[in-house]
Amino acid sequence: MTEPEASESTGMRGQMTHPDTDVLAEFRAGLITGRRGARIATHLAGCGRCTALDEQLAGVRSLLASVPAPAMPDSVARRLDMVLAAEVAQRNAAQGSHAAREAVPGDRAERADGDGARESPAPRRPGGNRGFRLLALRVLAPVAAVVVLAAGGYGLSRINLGSSTGSSASTSAGSAERAAAPTAAASAKAGGSVNAPSAGPTKGAVSRPQGITAAGITVVTGPANLTRGGLAQQVRAQLAVPPSARTTRAATSAERGCVLKLIGVNRLELVESVRFEDSPATLIVARTGPRDMAWVAAPDCSATHRHVLDTTSLPSGISGP
Amino acid sequence: MPDEGSPADHELLRRHVAGDAEAFGELFRRHRDRLWAVALRTLCDPEEAADALQDAMVSAFRRAGDFRGESAVTTWLHRIVVNASLDRLRRRAARPALSTGDEQAFEALVAQDGDPARASDTRLDVDAALQLLAPPQRAALVLVDMLGFSVADAAAILDTSPGTVKSRCARARARLLPHLVHLQGNRSASESVSPAQGGDTP
């Protein structure tokens, strides 16, 4: 706090000079009491200028109260739903594979003066694990619904639920798909070469979204080394690589955060671990209306740090459904 | 607010901790518009607000077991959102920002809209003026004056004393006064602005 005393010091003949707006506001908020408060009250009673100011301060409050709260945009709501679905699936998987739930790091503020038992984690019922299994089945439906939303009109069979082929965080939901993943990996040739035919939207070369899945995002790994010049053409070539010729792995949490930050609500087409101008980078392609948007993200790009090395856009026909 | 017959907040949180896959979603959706408003008004940037809300949601989801029930669930949720927002502002502080209270930046912000009819719109002016405030002041003002929280609840959310909340609000109002006084005369008119008239900018 500054020292408001100076501005309201008693002037000649005991007449107080006009208090600062700050001081009036604090008085209005009940923060100035006692003799100081009494002085201000007396001054207000006899000063039209300060009374007007005081009324304006009250007006600020009612003006602020009159501004309607913004509703959450649909795009943000969808994104949060997607992230939440991923969290649920992740927790489900963890609960399915570990009998006991790990303790989560404490929230100091909540713990400090906690009244203890009332809201403590639920006691484990005997045989509780069976409940989790049932839960795992039950959750698939809502998660799938969100995935469809994210991936657009593609059939569920195209969507790689789980996706954690090479990661320790494998999910129970992903177990069904895991059988299929090695096949794709085994049949991978020079997946992701820039020299792949940049064919038009012919059936065989149609790219499928890599699927924002319940557990995360699948990253295509490939030897492509993209360059600044003619980036759009190179991205087209990457999109033209058939899914069967791609090697994939689960996205890291940083990659996932980066992707979600960049694509917003747009439909994810491709995430590929590439090189850009001979340095590691991540190529991210999303359907943004009539065109696809491609970003080349730096390795340190994350949910909290938007670090894009280059971008381009291209007609979405190449990867269209 | 929950309808008759729908589970209370703390019941949803309890179910979530017990393993219910849908309870947290229901709880979060119930409050997300208000949580969004807090994040957006505190950060003054939709993209950052979405990021902060996402961080907060994930954090609340994972740490729900630590909730001890000495505050309302909404207070707990709002606290996590406010903290995520203020964290972001702190990280952003290194970069040039409007939060330092640059009057020229304020004018530029109002002017950038171009359309004079729009620029005089109450919400835009208020949004721009809010950026003049230091983040802790802004957070307090948003909670108390804009979202109608009691001083006590705002203090719990901000993890500070009621006196500090009152003081921050008072100073924030004084700071905003010169920038908002022109709106007071036509407030009754601006209150009735319909979204079609440009009151709604997505």
**Mean pLDDT, to the nearest integer, of B118-126?**
65
A84-107 tens-digit pLDDT: 998 888 888 877 665 444 444 444
3-class DSSP assignment, residue A276: strand
| CB proximity A195 to B under 8 Å | no
Residue A260 lies in a domain: yes
Per domain, the residue ranges of chain B are 1-95, 99-192
For the cut 60, the answer to whether the pLDDT of residue B70 exceeds it is: yes
Amino acid at A212: I
Tell me which of A40, A60, A111, A304 to substitute to probe the interface with B (most B C-beta atoms closer than 10 Å): A60
Q: How confident is the model at residue B185 (pLDDT cuts 50, 70, 90)?
A: low
For the cut 80, the answer to whether the pLDDT of residue A265 exceeds it is: no
- Say which residue the tokens 């009036």 belong to: A24
For the cut 90, the answer to whether the pLDDT of residue A138 exceeds it is: no
Q: How confident is the model at residue B170 (pLDDT cuts 50, 70, 90)?
A: very high
Mean pLDDT of all residues belonging to chain B = 80
Shared domain for A190 and A267, answered yes or no, is: yes
Q: How confident is the model at residue B5 (pLDDT cuts 50, 70, 90)?
A: low
Task: State the Cα–Cα distance between residues A29 and A23, nearest whole angstrom.
Answer: 10
Task: Give B4→chain A minimum CA distance, Å.
Answer: 23
Shared domain for A157 and A251, answered yes or no, is: yes
Shared domain for A22 and A85, answered yes or no, is: no
Which residues of chain B are within 8 Å of residue A69 when distances are taken between CB atoms? Answer: 33-34, 37, 146-147
Higher pLDDT pick, B79 / A108: B79
Q: Which CATH number fits domain B99-192: 1.10.150.120, 3.40.50.150, 1.10.10.10, 1.20.120.530?
A: 1.10.10.10
Task: Give A31→chain B minimum CA distance, Å.
Answer: 7
Residue A121 lies in a domain: no
Which residues of chain B are within 8 Å of residue A67 when distances are taken between CB atoms? Answer: 122-123, 126, 146
Q: Which of B22, B58, B167 sits opposite A142 (nearest CB)?
A: B22
Shared domain for A42 and A176, answered yes or no, is: no
The domain over range B1-95 is classified in CATH as 3.30.413.10 = no
The range of the structural domain enclosing residue A288 comes to: 75-96+127-319
Higher pLDDT pick, B70 / A150: B70
A2-53 tens-digit pLDDT: 444 444 444 444 456 888 899 999 998 999 989 999 999 999 999 999 999 9
For the cut 50, the answer to whether the pLDDT of residue B58 exceeds it is: yes
The tokens describing B112, both together, are 């950038």
- Say which residue the tokens 């000649």 belong to: A12
| CB proximity B182 to A under 8 Å | no
Task: State the Cα–Cα distance between residues A192 and A159, nearest whole angstrom.
Answer: 20
Shared domain for A141 and A273, answered yes or no, is: yes
A6-25 residues touching B, CB cutoff 8 A: 20-22, 24-25
For the cut 60, the answer to whether the pLDDT of residue B135 exceeds it is: yes
Shared domain for A57 and A137, answered yes or no, is: no
Task: Give A57→chain B minimum CA distance, Å.
Answer: 7
Amino acid at A216: G
Query: According to the model, what pLDDT value does residue B153 have?
Result: 94
Of A183-187, A208-212, B7-11, B154-158, the range with the lowest mean pLDDT is A183-187
Shared domain for A57 and A82, answered yes or no, is: no
Query: According to the model, what pLDDT value does residue B95 have?
Result: 56
SS3 content of chain A, % helix, strand, coil (to 5): 45, 15, 35
Contact assignment for B57 to A110 by CB distance below 8 Å: no
Task: Give A235→chain B minimum CA distance, Å.
Answer: 26
Q: Which of B18, B40, B177 sits opposite A57 (nearest CB)?
A: B177
Residue A92 lies in a domain: yes
| CB proximity A62 to B under 8 Å | yes
B78-112 tens-digit pLDDT: 999 999 999 998 887 765 544 444 444 444 444 44
For the cut 50, the answer to whether the pLDDT of residue A121 exceeds it is: no
Residue A122 lies in a domain: no
SS3 content of chain B, % helix, strand, coil (to 5): 75, 0, 25
The tokens describing B48, both together, are 């950052």
Task: Give B171→chain A minimum CA distance, Å.
Answer: 6
Contact assignment for B68 to A118 by CB distance below 8 Å: yes
| CB proximity A67 to B under 8 Å | yes
Last residue of a domain, one of A66, A88, A104: A66
Mean pLDDT of all residues belonging to chain A = 66
Task: State the Cα–Cα distance between residues A139 and A133, nearest whole angstrom.
Answer: 10
Higher pLDDT pick, B152 / A256: B152
Shared domain for A135 and A226, answered yes or no, is: yes
Question: Chains A and B: how many Cβ contacts under 8 Å?
Answer: 185
Q: How confident is the model at residue B32 (pLDDT cuts 50, 70, 90)?
A: very high
Q: How confident is the model at residue A248 (pLDDT cuts 50, 70, 90)?
A: confident
CA distances from A122 to A101, A128, A310 (A): 11, 11, 49
DSSP A35-93: HHHHHHHHHHHH-HHHHHHHHHHHHHHHHHHHSPPPPPPHHHHHHHHHHHHHHHHHHHH
A139-168 residues touching B, CB cutoff 8 A: 139, 142
Residue A110 lies in a domain: no
- Counting the structural domains of chain A, the total is 2
**Mean pLDDT, to the nearest integer, of B115-126?**
60
Task: Give A158→chain B minimum CA distance, Å.
Answer: 24
Shared domain for A133 and A246, answered yes or no, is: yes
Which residues of chain A are within 8 Å of residue B21 when distances are taken between CB atoms? Answer: 88, 92, 135, 138-139, 142
Residue A145 lies in a domain: yes
Of B85-94, B158-167, B192-201, the range with the lowest mean pLDDT is B192-201
DSSP B146: I
Residue A105 lies in a domain: no
Shared domain for A79 and A52, answered yes or no, is: no
Shared domain for A143 and A235, answered yes or no, is: yes
B133-162 residues touching A, CB cutoff 8 A: 141, 145-148, 159
For the cut 50, the answer to whether the pLDDT of residue A73 exceeds it is: yes
Residue A168 lies in a domain: yes
A151-197 tens-digit pLDDT: 433 333 333 333 333 333 333 333 333 333 333 333 333 333 333 33
C-alpha neighbours within 13 Å on the C-beta side of residue A47: 18
Contact assignment for B65 to A131 by CB distance below 8 Å: no
Of A97-106, A115-124, A140-149, A310-319, the range with the lowest mean pLDDT is A115-124
Angle at A150 between CA A148 and CA A153, to 5 degrees: 50
Shared domain for A149 and A62, answered yes or no, is: no
For the cut 80, the answer to whether the pLDDT of residue B60 exceeds it is: yes
